[in-house]
Amino acid sequence: MENLKLNTKNLSAIGERIAIPKYSRSDIKTGIVHVGIGGFHRAHEAFYTDQLLQDESVKDWGICGVALLDFDTKIYNTLKEQDGLYTLIVKELDGTHTKRVIGAITEYLFAPENPTKVIEKMASPEVKIITLTITEGGYNYNEATKTFDFTNPLIIHDLEHPNAPKTIFGYLTQALKLRQERGLKGITIQSCDNIQGNGYMTQNMLLSYVSKAEPALVDWINENVSFPNAMVDRITPVTAAEDITHLKETSGIDDAWPVVCEPFKQWVIEDDFIAGRPAWENVGAQFVEDVVPYEKMKLSLLNAGHSVLGILGALMGYNTIDEAVNNPNIRAFLKHYMDEEVTPTLGDLEGVDLEAYKQSLLERFGNINIKDQIDRICSETSAKYPIFILPTIQSQLENKGDIGLAAFVTAAWAIYSLGTNENGDALIIKDALKQELGEKAKEAKHNPIAFLELGSVFGTLKQNPVFTKAFVNAYEDITNKNIEDNLKSINSTY
Ligand code: CS2
């Protein structure tokens, strides 16, 4: 089989091998600007939108993908080379791969190269929605002060150079200002990040920035921009070199950056789109009045579950999430954490079978074909912990519920931050606070609660005697015996 490079020219030939878009991509207008064209966006929103575009009457919802950071050069160049096309490889539970070429990203821009072009695109009349996957840390929220972080050097830069911004806040402010000046009404800004109340967070952080950068724009935003909350879900590991080779060997497709993901997908969205929206419900998204309870369930069970498996698994020397969850002691620990510490915080979830949901998570985590990297899960834990784990602890403390298992994971993270696993191998720590975490982790060897001094991660947790006691005990237990033996003793108490 001849290898075909993925691009528009070869598309119909590729269509004889795997599924390709049925619609004519050149007829699709851009209705959405999406910032952050990483794997998750390409496995999720772009996938849903591609499915919708298969309906020939839908022509207004093409996506313009924006690469915001210098770091994104590679994905931008790849999409440019491949005319925005990429292969989505769904790794099914039975080990087979379902492959399809996704065509929904019809335009792509590289912000560092041409900021004005990005601002103009966001301000163009045909664009009705700006969607974001800018990661948990991208919202510039500080847990310690509970406010927008104006000390961030990039924010200081944007305030000084409004026409050549570097952050999402600088871009959105300029674009919205142009829309106001041009008399263009409503636009929706929709977060697709894993944050409780991600719409509220986007709105609050943007308004904080705008109040300083363009105070006169605040009222216009309040009247003309909507910020729906949404829960997003699809496990999307980092594409491995073998994925690229395998696609070439099995289908003869030369794709420099395919995306791999699990079969499961979910998108629950509040129906608050001031300028209209795609009928994503026709392709499986759910529109609801209030998404907050669903988000909370997902963040505190799935995402926190990932962090639990990642931190404990990394210390025990595992590389992937399935290896960790398929260790019976870790699995039982995670199950107890979900049942005893998270479930009591979730309140009433109408129409959700929580037991079935938790069971399905264990199965998804255990999918041996996905090979989701523990390094990916543990990256940026300092931004994830305050969203995934801290709210559960706070809620349990308020209601005098158990926090012992969360304290154990937190203590394990302190040990992890020393940079070596139990076998003496170096851990690759990718975290914006890597240095601070490392310093606190060293102090913690003599005084464990020093680790909790990182206010932007732990808020006021250090002042809570119930938590600190459990944390110090757990820290000592981990210093005295290995993780697995600790898990065995903990599990035996349930
Ligand atoms: C993961 C998420 O980043 C993480 O730690 O928990 O990327 C997770 O895989 C997705 O949110 C699944 O929807």
Q: Is the CB of 194 under 6 A from ligand 1?
A: yes
CA distances to 19, 72, 197, 200, 335 from 325, in Å: 33, 32, 28, 33, 10
What's the pLDDT at 145? 87
Q: What is the pLDDT of residues 423-473, one digit of tens each?
A: 999 999 999 999 999 999 999 999 999 999 999 999 999 999 999 999 999
Judged against a pLDDT cut of 90, whether residue 348 lies above it is answered with: no
- Reported pTM: 0.96
CA pair distance 201, 198, nearest whole angstrom: 5
What's the pLDDT at 350? 80
Q: What is the pLDDT of residues 367-395, one digit of tens each?
A: 999 999 999 999 999 999 999 999 999 99
Q: What is the pLDDT of residues 190-235, one digit of tens each?
A: 999 999 999 999 999 999 999 999 999 999 999 999 999 999 999 9
Mean pLDDT, residues 346-359: 90
Q: Grade residue 351 by pLDDT with cuts at 50, 70 and 90.
A: confident
Angle (CA) 427-372-255 rounded to 5° is 110
What's the pLDDT at 144? 82
Judged against a pLDDT cut of 90, whether residue 169 lies above it is answered with: yes
Residue with the smallest CA separation from ligand 1 atom 10 is 235
Q: Is the CB of 303 under 6 A from ligand 1?
A: yes
Residue with the smallest CA separation from ligand 1 atom 8 is 235
Distance in Å, CA 157 to ligand 1 centroid? 30
Q: Is the CB of 338 under 6 A from ligand 1?
A: no
Distance in Å, CA 303 to ligand 1 centroid? 6
Ligand 1 atom at minimum distance from 236 CA: 9
Residue with the smallest CA separation from ligand 1 atom 7 is 235
Ligand 1 atom at minimum distance from 194 CA: 11
Helices (H), 399-447: 404-416, 434-444
Q: Is the CB of 41 under 6 A from ligand 1?
A: no
- Residues near 233 by Cβ (< 8 Å), separated by ≥ 6? 44, 264, 265, 266, 267, 298, 302
CA pair distance 378, 312, nearest whole angstrom: 10
Ligand 1 atom at minimum distance from 302 CA: 6
Residue with the smallest CA separation from ligand 1 atom 4 is 377
First and final CA of the chain: distance in angstroms?
57
Mean pLDDT, residues 9-26: 97
Q: Choose the residue to mutate in 306, 334, 371, 382 for probing ligand 1, maximizing ligand atoms within 8 Å of C-beta.
A: 306
Ligand 1 atom at minimum distance from 310 CA: 5
Residue with the smallest CA separation from ligand 1 atom 6 is 303
CA distances to 310, 432, 446, 448 from 478, in Å: 16, 26, 14, 11
CA pair distance 468, 194, nearest whole angstrom: 27
Distance in Å, CA 40 to ligand 1 centroid? 9
Residue with the smallest CA separation from ligand 1 atom 9 is 235
Residue with the smallest CA separation from ligand 1 atom 11 is 233
Judged against a pLDDT cut of 90, whether residue 185 lies above it is answered with: no
What's the pLDDT at 143? 78
Q: Choose the residue to mutate in 194, 297, 367 for probing ligand 1, maximizing ligand atoms within 8 Å of C-beta.
A: 194
Q: Is the CB of 255 under 6 A from ligand 1?
A: no
Q: Choose the weakest-confidence range: 126-135, 144-153, 234-243, 475-484.
A: 144-153
Distance in Å, CA 235 to ligand 1 centroid? 6
Average pLDDT value over all residues in the chain: 97
Task: Give the strand pairing for 4-5 and 253-254.
Answer: parallel
CA pair distance 303, 292, nearest whole angstrom: 15
Distance in Å, CA 296 to ligand 1 centroid? 14
Domains, the chain, with CATH or none: 4-288 (3.40.50.720), 292-491 (1.10.1040.10)
Ligand 1 atom at minimum distance from 372 CA: 9
Q: Is the CB of 464 under 6 A from ligand 1?
A: no
Mean pLDDT, residues 166-185: 97
- Residues near 453 by Cβ (< 8 Å), separated by ≥ 6? 440, 462
Residue with the smallest CA separation from ligand 1 atom 13 is 233
Q: What is the pLDDT of residues 83-138, one digit of tens each?
A: 999 999 999 989 999 999 999 999 999 999 999 999 999 999 999 999 999 998 89
Of all residues in the chain, what percent carry a pLDDT higher than 70? 100
CA pair distance 220, 224, nearest whole angstrom: 6
What's the pLDDT at 442? 98
Of all residues in the chain, what percent carry a pLDDT higher than 90? 95
Mean pLDDT, residues 312-336: 98
Q: Give the count of alpha carbons within 13 A of 430, CB side only.
A: 8
Q: Grade residue 345 by pLDDT with cuts at 50, 70 and 90.
A: very high
Residue with the smallest CA separation from ligand 1 atom 2 is 303
Q: Grade residue 347 by pLDDT with cuts at 50, 70 and 90.
A: confident
Q: Is 428 strand, coil or helix?
A: coil
Mean pLDDT, residues 26-38: 97
What's the pLDDT at 349? 81
Q: Is the CB of 44 under 6 A from ligand 1?
A: no
Q: Is the CB of 79 under 6 A from ligand 1?
A: no
Which residue is it, tokens 């033996």?
485
Query: What counts of helices (H) and strands (E) characterise the chain?
Result: 23, 16
